[in-house]
Amino acid sequence: MSTQTTASERTTLNTLKSTKPGLWATVSALLRKELLIELRTLESVPGMSLFSVTVFVIFHFALHQNTVSGDEASGILWVTLLFAAMLAVNRLFVADSDQGGFDSFLLAPVDRSALMIAKALALLIYLLVLELVAVPAFGLLLLGPSLGAAMPDLLAVLALADLGLALIGTLVAALAVRTRARDLLGPLLALPLLVPVVIGAARSSSPLMAAGHHGSMQVRWLMTLALYDLVFGLISYAVFDFLLED
Partner 1 sequence: MPLLAQAFEKRSAAYLTRWLICAMLSTSRRESEGTADTNRLALELMGLERRFGERVALSKLSLSLERGATLVVFGPNGAGKTTLLRVLATLLRPHAGKVRMFGHELPAESWALRGRIGLLAHEPLLYRELTTRENLTLHARLHGVSMERVEQTLEAVALGSRAGEPLRMLSRGMVQRAAIARVVLHDPELLLLDEPRANLDPAAGELVEPLIGRSSGRTRVISSHDPASGLAEADLVLGLRAGRPALLQSASSTDPDEITELYR
Which residues are near partner 1 by CB under 8 A?
Answer: 1-3, 5-7, 9-10, 12-14, 16-21, 25-26, 28-30, 32-33, 36-37, 40-41, 95, 99-101, 103-110, 234-235, 238-239, 241-242, 245-246
Burial class (CB in 10 A: 0-12, 13-18, 19+), 14: exposed
Q: Closer CB to partner 1, residue 33 or residue 60?
A: 33
Q: Closer CB to partner 1, residue 68 or residue 115?
A: 115
Q: Closer CB to partner 1, residue 109 or residue 192?
A: 109
CB of residue 167 to partner 1, shortest distance in Å: 14
CB of residue 41 to partner 1, shortest distance in Å: 6
CB of residue 236 to partner 1, shortest distance in Å: 10
CB of residue 126 to partner 1, shortest distance in Å: 16
Q: Closer CB to partner 1, residue 61 or residue 242?
A: 242
CB of residue 97 to partner 1, shortest distance in Å: 11
Q: Closer CB to partner 1, residue 5 or residue 216?
A: 5
